Amino acid sequence: MESFDKHGWLQAVQADTQFSDREFRLAFVICSQFTRRDGTGWPVELDRIATAVKGGMHSVKIRNGLSKLCKAGYLAETYRRSTGPGLDRSAVPRRLQA
């Protein structure tokens, strides 16, 4: 299993001036709590990410932040599930790899 340089990845995101402090905190949470050592992730409910971000974060802001991180090349979206019966639009899981 190849190791992923989480520290280097976080330094790169932090140095990128297009991201706000809150978006960096989102990146930090994804990297530290929802990314394996090899850089892969797994489906996570947006509400779970929101509670992990210091100061909280609305699901719309999370979606926007994830999209921005993907467009900038820091994340690769590998899976997205559409909402279904009984699922809230604010809890759409995404599997990401940093």
Q: Which residue has the higher pLDDT, 5 or 93?
A: 5
Burial class (CB in 10 A: 0-12, 13-18, 19+), 49: buried
Query: Which pLDDT does position 83 carry in this prediction?
Result: 56
Query: Which pLDDT does position 13 carry in this prediction?
Result: 92
Domain ranges, residue 37 = 6-97
Mean pLDDT of 38-52: 83
Structural domains in the chain (count) = 1
Q: For 54-80, what is each residue's pLDDT tens digit?
A: 888 888 888 899 889 888 888 887 766
pLDDT at residue 97 is higher than 60: no
Residue 26's CATH number: 1.10.10
96 φ, ψ (degrees, to nearest 5): -125, 155
The answer to whether residue 57 sits within a structural domain is yes
